[in-house]
Structure 1
């Protein structure tokens, strides 16, 4: 891979003269990859999976740093304030698109502070019900939810997560009533689904897999296409529910003024890491889909998702407490 160099010059006698030895390659020091979530979670796992391959492609170490708290805004703020030279970047989730509508008074503007690099992965979301739930498919689930006086109780990894928003989106699209139970993580919600404590759960496929193995039943994929590991589970559109696509992601961002060639180089490094056989195998084992979109594609995606989620958040009255 060719490394683009940037020449600095000295103004002497009215002419711009290239200064020998001052042309600098990128990167010239380790890359700091900030993650806005705790070690061991899905975002942290993806970051640590990508870092070695990115480092090999860039010729520099990629150091993962966790700055958890405030739904990822702590890490985002640190990257927004960092030098725009490509050496400090952010790995975030779909919160990058929803946070602007959930937080006020931030020291940075999500729409203006970042240069999207790439959507690295997708965590496909499904709706699953406990094994004794009296609905065999999505049509029966909707009919039951409309007919009984009490709402269906569903669990998610937490308030204002992508999975919570999927539940709110289903209510808006179908008119049914659901009652949300936020957990402190997807695995806790999956555990209570397997144990019959909650009736249903919106969760990522990889996280809810133990509950499915214990008898919980998937009803619908909240994705544009069927999930390869669950080929018999229909999408929302196949169930007659329009615009019912909402799953979590991991994507990378640089400070807004980072030179485009450096953003492109970082994107290529992520794609190189995603193509590594051991990374592909690990992602498949975790039911995670690799993406590797271009900066332009990822910019368009984040812009569209932010507008869509903003409308959803206002309509559903979602707040962070």
Structure 2
């Protein structure tokens, strides 16, 4: 009797043990899968020290104005647990600033505000990186910035008057740096309008460009609205805008098409976006995305878009990465077209 009970007990124990082993075996793959994906979704994390907000221009340029405005909004709304410091690294048509950020591989606290020289300069200079889209961390697009042809108020009142004189003599134009975005637009304009060769005088940023024109030291400029506004309307006057439709703030200023410039490539915008250091940890990339999302949605930034005549454009992640690649390709085509680079 006891022997039968013992055998039954032993059999039951073996069955239970086998069931436990089987259950553990079934649970093991789930444990491996969790370990393989890092234990779940990556969570946003603030950097452990002050943010360096790198700017490619001197104080007063468009990028500098927007960077300082964003930093002010972040401070005013108490969005960040660490301070933000704007770092001007002007020079080399944006090369100085881009190399500065590129040297901070893996940094969790360094970002740069873009302008279109980030697409042209890597293709025109011998730099330790190939392109902004391949070698930096995309954070967010904040706005698109239009261009206008500006004149001193002591000179022409209309684009037609400007064009007539520019076909008779060689004028001078102030620009933000050799072979940057405004010189791209200049070459497209000279070709489309049939102007005489223009002498390009590089400056350290859009603020300096506007000051040179306001002081009468050059004949015209191709500035973003925000860069010319400090001298408007007393010293500077926009003669034409390079947009398909008139701007609400300047209903009397014609578009390039309205003045007879049949060249679709003149519809040219500046990308006001943010990129991070190469190899920025994903947790910090997500934190910056969230910070700039809150900035974009704030009343203060929406007011800035209206005041500075910007077009709001918020993209993050793969969408912004795709946008950077598209602009890299666009500028390659434009520079081949105007003879700055050779087609592969």
TM bracket, shorter-chain basis: 0.7 to 0.9
Cα distance in 2 between the residues matched to 1:171 and 1:112? 32
TM-score normalised by the chain length of structure 2? 0.71
TM-score normalised by the chain length of structure 1? 0.75
SS of the counterpart of 1:281? helix
Alignment CA distance shift 1:176-1:62 (3 Å): same
Aligned residue for 1:63? 84
Does residue 115 of structure 2 align to residue 96 of structure 1?
no
Match of 2:128 among 107, 125, 129: 107
Backbone CA RMSD of aligned residues = 3.6
Task: Measure how far apart 1:32 and its partner are.
Answer: 2.7
Task: Measure how far apart 1:279 and its partner are.
Answer: 3.5
Match of 1:243 among 245, 252, 265: 265
Aligned residue for 1:49? 69
Contact 1:101 1:313 in 2 (8 A): no
Cα distance in 2 between the residues matched to 1:67 and 1:133? 33
Match of 2:275 among 253, 256, 266: 253
Matches within 5 A, 1:26-45: 26-27=45-46, 29-30=48-49, 32-37=51-56, 40-41=59-60, 42-45=62-65
Task: Measure how far apart 1:255 and its partner are.
Answer: 4.3
The number of residues matched between the two structures is 301
Contact 1:155 1:183 in 2 (8 A): yes
Task: Measure how far apart 1:70 and its partner are.
Answer: 3.1
Alignment CA distance shift 1:107-1:40 (3 Å): same
Richer in helix (by share): 2
Aligned residue for 2:11? none
Alignment CA distance shift 1:238-1:85 (3 Å): same
Structure 2: runs of 5+ lacking an equivalent? 1-27
Matches within 5 A, 1:143-182: 143-146=164-167, 148=168, 150-182=169-201
Aligned residue for 1:5? none
Q: C-alpha offsets along residues 274-317 of structure 1, whole Å, 9 cap, x if unaligned?
A: 22223433454444444322334433332232223234334545
Cα distance in 1 between the residues matched to 2:249 and 2:338? 31
Q: Which has the larger radius of gyration?
A: 2
Cα distance in 1 between the residues matched to 2:43 and 2:152? 58
Structure 1: runs of 5+ lacking an equivalent? 1-12
